[in-house]
Amino acid sequence: MGTDMTKGSITKHIFRFAFPVALGILFQQLYNIVDTMIVGRLLGVNSLAGVGSTTGLWFFEFSVVCGICNGFAVSTAQSFGEGNKAEVKGFFRNGLVLGMMISLVLMMLTIMSTAWILKLTNTPNDIYNYAHDYIIVLFEGIPFTFIYNYFSASLRSIGDSRTPVIALVIASFLNMGLDVFFIMNLGMGVAGAALATVISQIVSGVFLGLYIIRKVEMFHFAITLRIDHSKSRIQLKTAIPMALQGAAISIGILIVQASVNSLGTIYVVGSTAGNKLYGIMAAPVDAICQSLIPLSSQNYGARRNDRIKEGWKKVVLYAWIFTAVLSVIAWFAGPYMIRIFIDTADKEIISYGHQFLICFVLGFGFLGIQQGTCFTLQGTGNSEFTIASGILETAGRLFGALVLTKMIGYMGICLALPLAWVFTDMYMVPVYFLCIRRMSDTKETAVSKLQPQM
């Protein structure tokens, strides 16, 4: 099983990998969208604002978990590119055991600190209870979030982006049904929406686990809780910077969310709807960028630096093409799409949501450069540079939320993330070329040592 990305057309590899990933992102957003639609329409604006006010907090935890999953999977991809199936199996097993231990610790820490963080982020009193009831259930499901995302990242590391999408499709329909059942039939409120998401993630994880048992022999291992310390050091060397990058970005999101919360509930509702649409419209750009994780990892293992460089160039080009198309759609159809999430004729709320969306979509090209470069560096063993990327993105968000907001109000919130992408690109692009040159020099040195000496 798996796809060898060290051979064949790079463009075909990018889009064959990206298409299922884009569908997966859309279905992942469907989780959140269904929650938003049902909560907003059945439970009211305050419930929706409560759920929306936890966006930054959940993204923090989710980014750390995904950083760990993707970081562990890089070693699997590199071993796959080398053709070393024994190492593929060893890294997969070790990452699963180590990651489960980490996720349990994260679950306990977040549950204990939830109330404190909600107060710290200026969650309005009229929506505090809704926010707490929603996020605490998601935190209790962190181990299941890890299992699904780790299985998914591991399958993608060997070029299989299709199977995780199948799991998400199944889970998404389950999520919709459970949302309605828990909220309408059982009257569980926002906690029911969160519980539906957790159960759906459990189903996704079970599905992928059964698939791996039946189809992916190279991932089979003897059941043991023993940690391989040498493999752990290799995996953590990649995973920790990726998790820290996500954590740094998420801290910026939390501060931006606090700024939005301080403006009032009407701004929270508008930005929440706009943010949901942003997640959908960013799917094509996110997907083609994610193709660079297995592409760069496998070709790094196979010492094909030429294919790594070509893949990066193509992804950046495609990201700007998608930006042009999506910007037109967001400009003309944005207000109508905002109404999907909000059962209101309030033009002010719709305007805030549309304004938020437009600013984000116009910056997608810079997002493509940032993500494409980060994923390439992570896949080639240079993940330590991505920590600075997270810090710079956070700085950009803070500038928008804390400085621009005082100067131009809500527009400062809308510009915070696009500015963060620009700041990050100014650092990441030179670092990328430096690392590519260093890898090329290393390869030439290795080849010269194999040449007969005269």
- Positions of E strands within 108-237: none
What pLDDT does residue 32 have?
A: 66
Residue 302 Cα to chain centre, angstroms = 27
Residue in this structure with the two tokens 């070509």, named with its chain if needed: 310
What pLDDT does residue 317 have?
A: 95
What pLDDT does residue 108 have?
A: 93
Residue 285 Cα to chain centre, angstroms = 12
Other beta carbons within 10 Å of 59: 18
Q: Encode the chain (454 residues) as per-residue pLDDT tens digits.
A: 567 788 889 999 999 988 888 887 887 776 666 666 777 777 877 887 788 778 778 878 888 898 899 888 888 888 887 778 888 888 888 989 999 999 999 999 989 988 888 888 778 888 888 888 999 999 999 999 999 999 999 998 888 888 988 888 888 888 888 888 898 888 888 889 889 989 999 999 999 999 999 988 888 877 777 888 888 888 888 888 888 877 777 777 777 777 787 777 788 777 877 877 888 888 899 899 988 988 988 888 778 888 999 999 999 999 999 999 999 999 998 888 888 766 666 788 888 888 989 998 999 999 999 999 988 998 887 877 877 887 888 888 888 888 888 888 888 888 888 988 998 999 999 999 998 888 776 654 443 433 444 3
For residues 406, 408, 414, 416, the Cα torsion angle rounded to the nearest 10 degrees is -50
Distance, CA of 338 to CA of 361 (rounded, Å): 14
Distance, CA of 372 to CA of 380 (rounded, Å): 12
For residues 343, 347, 348, 351, the Cα torsion angle rounded to the nearest 10 degrees is 100
**Cβ contacts of residue 388 below 8 Å, gap of 6+?**
427
- Mutual angle of helices 265-281 and 305-338, in 10-degree steps: 140
**409's tokens:** 């109000």
Helix (H) or strand (E) holding 141: none
Q: What is the pLDDT of residues 397-443, one digit of tens each?
A: 888 888 888 888 888 888 888 988 998 999 999 999 998 888 776 65
Residue 229 Cα to chain centre, angstroms = 28
Distance, CA of 91 to CA of 231 (rounded, Å): 7
**370's tokens:** 């940032």
Distance, CA of 197 to CA of 424 (rounded, Å): 32
Q: What is the DSSP letter of 302?
A: T
For residues 413, 415, 421, 424, the Cα torsion angle rounded to the nearest 10 degrees is -80
Q: What angle do CA 115, 116, 118 make, to 5 degrees?
A: 65
Q: What is the DSSP letter of 43?
A: I
**Cβ contacts of residue 84 below 8 Å, gap of 6+?**
none
Contact call for residues 118 and 60 (beta carbons, < 8 A): no
Contact call for residues 131 and 50 (beta carbons, < 8 A): yes
Residue 193 Cα to chain centre, angstroms = 21
Distance, CA of 353 to CA of 94 (rounded, Å): 44
pTM: 0.76
What pLDDT does residue 216 have?
A: 86
How many H-runs (helices) and E-runs (strands) does the chain carry?
18, 0
User: Smallest Cα–Cα separation from 1: which of 89, 64, 74?
Assistant: 89
User: Smallest Cα–Cα separation from 296: which of 307, 287, 285?
Assistant: 307
The b/e string for 107-128 (b: 16+ C-beta within 10 A; e otherwise) is beebeeebeebbeebebbeebe
Contact call for residues 417 and 286 (beta carbons, < 8 A): no
Distance, CA of 110 to CA of 113 (rounded, Å): 5
SS3 285: helix
**373's tokens:** 């470069």
